[in-house]
Structure 1
Amino acid sequence: MSAPRRRRVWRSLTLRLGLIYVALFLTSTATMFGAAYWIGVYQPLLHETGSVRVEAGDLAAIDRAAGRDALLRALEVRRSTGPRRAFDALIAPDGKVLLANLPSWPDDPVPGWALLEADAYKGGQERDYEALVVEQQLDDGARLIVGRDVEDIDDRDELFTIGSAWLIVIAAALAIGGSIAMSSAVGQRIDMVTRTARRVMAGSLTERIPLRGTGDDFDELSETLNLMLGRIEESVESVRRVSDNVAHELRTPLARLHADLDELRSAESDDERRRLTEQAVAEAERLQAIFDALLRIARIESGRHLAGVKPVDLTTLLADAVEFHLPDAEGRGQRIESRVAPGLVMEADRNLIFQTVSNLLDNASKYGGEGGTISVTASAADGTVRIAISDTGPGIAPEYRERVKERFFRVPGSGGQPGTGLGLAIVAAIVALHNGRMEIGDARPGTEVVLSF
C-alpha cells in the first residue's frame, strides 16, 4: 500500500467508525464477562464466605459453652458433613497445633477471609483443593481457622480471567484488522469515483465509473453517478449544438443585413433605398425574433417566466387558441376539428399554456399541407389532462421526433417554411416547467403531438 493511501486509510471515516465499533464491542464484551464473573464467581464466593463465617461463629459458641473437647469433637464431625470439603486448624495461644487438616496457614491472623492452598496427597497422587477460610479468635486467645473447598469456583475464576483476556485480545485484533481492511476496500471504491470525477473535470465527458456487478451500495451510487454524467454529457453536447446552430442561424440574417446596409449607402434612387431599407428591417426583425425566442426559452427553463400557477379553464383556452388560428388555417384551405371535453380545468400558468397550444397549432397549420385537417382533442382521466394536436401533413420521421425539440433543429426538407426553428423547443420547455410530458408520434398520416399534465 502506498504512503498516500496509508495516510488516507488512517484518516478515513470508515476506519474511525470501525474503531468506534471495536471500542463498543470490547466494552460490551467486558460488561458481559463482568456480569458472568459476578454470577459465576463473585456471588458464590460471597455465599461461601457467609456460610463459613456462620460455621466459625457456631464453633466459637460451642467452645465457650461446652469447652475445648466439645469443640474438637465438633470439628471432627464437621469434616464429614456439608456439600464441600471442610478444612480447619485450631492453634493454642502458645502456638501448639491442637487439630488441623490444613497444610499451612498464615502466621498472622486472617483479616476477613482468605484463599489458601490445601492440596492433599493420597495414593501417591495430588488432589487440588482451594480453601476459603475465615479466622475466629477464641476467648483464651486460641486461633480457630475454618474453611470450605472452593476449588471449582477458583477454576472458574482462572478460566474467566484467562479466557476474557484472550478473547478481548483476539476480538480487538480481528476487529481492528477488519476495520483497516474494510477502510481500504471502501477507499479503493472511493478512489475510482474520485479518479473518474477528475478525468471528467479535465474534459473527458465520456468517462464512467467502473461497476463491479455486486449490486451493493457503491454499485448503485456509481450507476447513479454514471447516469448523471450521461445527462451532463448530453447537456454539454446540446449546448454545443445550440451554439453551432445559433451561429449558423444568425450568420445568414446578419450577412443579409450587412449586404443591404452596404448597398443602401450607394443606392441612388428613392425606390431602391426604400426596398433595401425594408429588407434590412425584415432581417433585423428576424434577428430580434430569434433573440426573443432564445431569451424566452432561457427564462422558462429557469422558472423565471412562471407568473403563477392558478386553475385554468382549459376548455375555454383551447377554444380561444383555435379561434385565433382559424383564419390562417382557412387561408391554406385547412379545417380545424375540435373535440374538447367540457369543464376541463388544470393548475398552470395560463399564458404559457396558451403559447404552447398556439405554437403547436401554428406548426400544424404550416406543415399540415394545403387543404389538410387539424385535429384538437383534450380530455381528463385519473388525474391526468391529455391534449393532442395532429395534422395530415407529411409527418416527422421517427429518428427526428426527439431532435425537433432542440433549438433551431429542422426536419430535412422543411427549410422552406418560415420560422426560427424554436417553436417546439419553447413548447418542450413549458411542458417541462409544468412537470408534464410531451410525445411526438405518427397521426397516419401526419404528426400528432400529445401533451400530458
Structure 2
Amino acid sequence: MPLPRLLRTSSFRLTLLYATLFTASVAILLGIVYLEIRSYATDLQDEIVKREVQYLRRAEKDGGTPAVQALIEQRLQQPLLKSMRYLLQDRDGRVIAGNAPVQAERRQGRFWFQMPKGDNPKRIRTVRAYGLQLKDGRYLAVGEAGKAIEEFQGLQSALLRDIGYALLAVLALALAGGALMSHLMLRRVERLVRDTRAIILGEPARRLPVGSGDDEFDRLSASVNQMLDRIDAQGDSLRQVSNDIAHDLRTPLGRLRQQLERGRRLQDIGPLHAVLERATAEVDTALRTFASLLHIAQIGGDPRRLQREPVPLSELLETLAEVHQSAFEAAGQHFHTDIAPDLEVVGNRDLLGQLFSNLLENACRHCPRGAHVTLRAAGERGGVRVSVADDGPGIPADERAHVFRRLYRLERSRTTPGSGLGLSMVEAVARAHGADIALDDNRPGLEVRVRLPGVASAPAVRRPGA
C-alpha cells in the first residue's frame, strides 16, 4: 500500500495525535520530576549552609571576628568539611580567611557562584552560598560544593538524555503503530469498497462481510446489509406492483376500449350516452386505483412526517361502528362491538379511521349473508389491541402473507368489486404508526388483529349490534 495514502488515513492521524499528547504528557511528567529533584538538592544545600552560618555567627557573638577567622581556619583542616567554601573579607574587600573566590559585590542572602574544579580551569563547579554583613563591617560567605550538587548535575544530564530517548522511542512506536493500524483498517475498508462496487456493477445479491468481533466495521456492514435487504424488498415490491398493475388494470382498460369501440359504431344518442357512462365508470375505477396506490406510497414514505396527536380511540371506533352498521344490515350480516371505554393512542385520526374502516368494509364485502362480524378493542400492557373477527370464508394460511401486497386479490375475489388495495392501505397505515398487524384463523373465518402503542384503560363494555 502506498505510504502517502497510508499517512493520509484517519487512523494514522488519530494515532499521531495520541502520540503527540502522550509525548507531551511524558515530557511534563519528567519535567516535574526534574524540578522536584532540583528543589530537593537545593534545599539540602541550603540547610547545610544555613547550619554552618549559624555556627559561625555564634562564634562571632562569643569572640568577634578573630574567633570567626580562627574557626574558619580550623574547619578548613577537617577532611569531612572539604566540600565547604568559606570567605571572610575586611571592610576593604581583602581576604582574611577562606577558600572561596573573592565576592566583590558582597551579595547578601542565598546565591550561586562558580569556581574552577581542581587544577583544570575549564572544569567549573557550581556552589550554593549564603552571604551576610558582620557587625564590624566585615563580610562572611559560606558555600557548599559537595557531591549533592554534582550528583544532581549528573542526574540532570542523564535525565534530559533519557527524556530525549524516551520521546524518540514514543514517536517511533507511534508512527509504526499508526502505520500498522492504518494498513489493517485500509485493508478492511478496501474490502468493503470492493464489495460495494461489485453490488453497484450488477451483483445485487452480494452482501458485505460481517465478522464476529462486533466492532464498528461489523456494525456498519450489518447496517449496510439491512439497507440493501430493504432496497431489494422494495425493488421486489415495485416489480410486483408493476406486474399487478399490468395484470389487474388490463381488464378494465380492455373493457374501456371495447366500450369506446362500441360507441364509435353507434349512431343514436341514447345508447351512446350509456356506453360513455360505462366507459367513464371504467376510467373512474382506474383513477381510484392509481389514487389509492399514490396514497399508500405517501403513507409509507417517511413516518416522521406523519402529523400525530392524541386520538380517543374508543370514540373513533364507536363512530365507525355506527357508520358501518347500516352496511352490515343491508348485507344481511350480524355486527357486534366489544370496545373498552377511554382508550387512547397517539397518531393520525384520519388514517386510523381509514385503517379500521377498510377492515370493516373488507369483512362486510367478503362475508356471506348471516355471517357474524365483531369489532373488539381492549387495552393491554404498553398498548391497545383492536381486532375485526368474522365467521366467513377466511383466508387460506398459505395466502395470508400475500394479501398485504398491493393489488393482490384472492382468486375467488376477482369477480367481486374492489382493487385489492384495502389491506395494503391497512398495512401501510399500521406501519406508519409503529403498529403490529396479524391475520389469524377465527375457526371459522378470519381475525385481523392490530396492536397500537398507546394507553390502555377500563374494562370492555359489550354492545351488541343488529
Q: TM-score, normalised by structure 1?
A: 0.79
Distance in 2 of aligned mates of 1:167 and 1:260: 94
- What's the C-alpha RMSD, in Å, of the aligned pairs? 4.1
> By how many angstroms is 1:118 displaced?
6.7
Distance in 1 of aligned mates of 2:68 and 2:361: 129
> By how many angstroms is 1:240 displaced?
2.2
Cα distance change, pair 145–327 in 1 and its aligned pair in 2 (3 A): closer
Alignment match, 1:263: 262
Helix, strand or coil for the counterpart of 1:403? coil
**Does the aligned pair in 1 maintain the 2:407–2:419 contact within 8 Å?**
yes
| Residue 215 (str. 1) matches residue 214 (str. 2) | yes
Distance in 1 of aligned mates of 2:115 and 2:25: 30
Give 1:422-437 correspondences, 5 Å limit. 422-437=421-436
| Larger RCO (CA under 8 A, 6+ residues apart) | 2
Identity within the alignment, %: 29
| Residue 17 (str. 1) matches residue 18 (str. 2) | no
Alignment match, 2:333: 334
Q: 2:146 aligns with which of 127, 145, 148?
A: 148
2:146 maps to a residue whose letter is: R
Alignment match, 1:291: 290
Instruction: Describe the superposition over 1:252-276 as per-residue Cα deviations: whole angstroms up to 9, x where unpaired.
Output: 2222211221122123566754553
> By how many angstroms is 1:399 displaced?
4.1
Alignment match, 1:39: 36
Alignment match, 1:123: none
| Residue 74 (str. 1) matches residue 75 (str. 2) | yes
> By how many angstroms is 1:32 displaced?
0.4
1:411 maps to a residue whose letter is: L
Instruction: Describe the superposition over 1:189-234 as per-residue Cα deviations: whole angstroms up to 9, x where unpaired.
Output: 3334444444444454323221221122221222122212211221
> By how many angstroms is 1:87 displaced?
5.7
Cα distance change, pair 99–295 in 1 and its aligned pair in 2 (3 A): closer
> By how many angstroms is 1:282 displaced?
2.7
Bigger CA drift: 337-346 or 163-172?
A: 337-346
Cα distance change, pair 106–231 in 1 and its aligned pair in 2 (3 A): farther
1:80 maps to a residue whose letter is: L
Distance in 2 of aligned mates of 1:313 and 1:52: 92
Alignment match, 2:93: none
Structure 1: give runs of 5+ residues left out of the alignment. Answer: 91-97, 120-129
Instruction: Describe the superposition over 1:256-299 as per-residue Cα deviations: whole angstroms up to 9, x where unpaired.
Output: 21122112212356675455334323311211221221232233
**Does the aligned pair in 2 maintain the 1:52–1:147 contact within 8 Å?**
no
**Does the aligned pair in 2 maintain the 1:45–1:153 contact within 8 Å?**
no
> By how many angstroms is 1:362 displaced?
1.5
Distance in 2 of aligned mates of 1:305 and 1:369: 40
Helix, strand or coil for the counterpart of 2:186? helix
Distance in 2 of aligned mates of 1:223 and 1:305: 24
Alignment match, 1:30: 27
Instruction: Describe the superposition over 1:322-376 as per-residue Cα deviations: whole angstroms up to 9, x where unpaired.
Output: 3433444344442112212234344443332222222111211222344322121
Instruction: Describe the superposition over 1:64-116 as per-residue Cα deviations: whole angstroms up to 9, x where unpaired.
Output: 52486653322123x335xxx636699xxxxxxx998xxxx99999x933487
Cα distance change, pair 73–270 in 1 and its aligned pair in 2 (3 A): closer
**Does the aligned pair in 2 maintain the 1:57–1:136 contact within 8 Å?**
no
Alignment match, 1:419: 418
1:224 maps to a residue whose letter is: S
> By how many angstroms is 1:246 displaced?
2.1
Bigger CA drift: 210-219 or 23-32?
A: 210-219
Bigger CA drift: 370-379 or 324-333?
A: 324-333
Distance in 1 of aligned mates of 2:306 and 2:71: 112
Alignment match, 1:166: 165
> By how many angstroms is 1:312 displaced?
4.1
**Does the aligned pair in 1 maintain the 2:12–2:181 contact within 8 Å?**
yes
1:299 maps to a residue whose letter is: Q
Alignment match, 2:464: none
Cα distance change, pair 58–443 in 1 and its aligned pair in 2 (3 A): same
> By how many angstroms is 1:401 displaced?
2.6
Cα distance change, pair 107–307 in 1 and its aligned pair in 2 (3 A): closer
1:24 maps to a residue whose letter is: L
Give 1:5-404 correspondences, 5 Å limit. 6-45=3-42, 47-48=44-45, 51-52=48-49, 55=52, 64-66=65-67, 70-77=71-78, 79-80=79-80, 86=83, 112-114=112-114, 133=127, 147-150=145-148, 151-202=150-201, 204-267=203-266, 273=272, 276-302=275-301, 309-404=308-403
Distance in 2 of aligned mates of 1:398 and 1:118: 108
Helix, strand or coil for the counterpart of 2:410? coil
**Does the aligned pair in 1 maintain the 2:256–2:282 contact within 8 Å?**
yes
Distance in 2 of aligned mates of 1:426 and 1:335: 25
Cα distance change, pair 177–307 in 1 and its aligned pair in 2 (3 A): closer
| Residue 452 (str. 1) matches residue 458 (str. 2) | no
Distance in 1 of aligned mates of 2:331 and 2:142: 130
Cα distance change, pair 131–447 in 1 and its aligned pair in 2 (3 A): same
Distance in 2 of aligned mates of 1:307 and 1:26: 54
**Does the aligned pair in 2 maintain the 1:18–1:175 contact within 8 Å?**
yes
Distance in 1 of aligned mates of 2:253 and 2:115: 109
Instruction: Describe the superposition over 1:408-431 as per-residue Cα deviations: whole angstroms up to 9, x where unpaired.
Output: 122344323321011111112222
Distance in 2 of aligned mates of 1:168 and 1:66: 56
> By how many angstroms is 1:301 displaced?
3.1
**Does the aligned pair in 2 maintain the 1:299–1:305 contact within 8 Å?**
no
**Does the aligned pair in 2 maintain the 1:369–1:392 contact within 8 Å?**
no
Helix, strand or coil for the counterpart of 1:362? helix
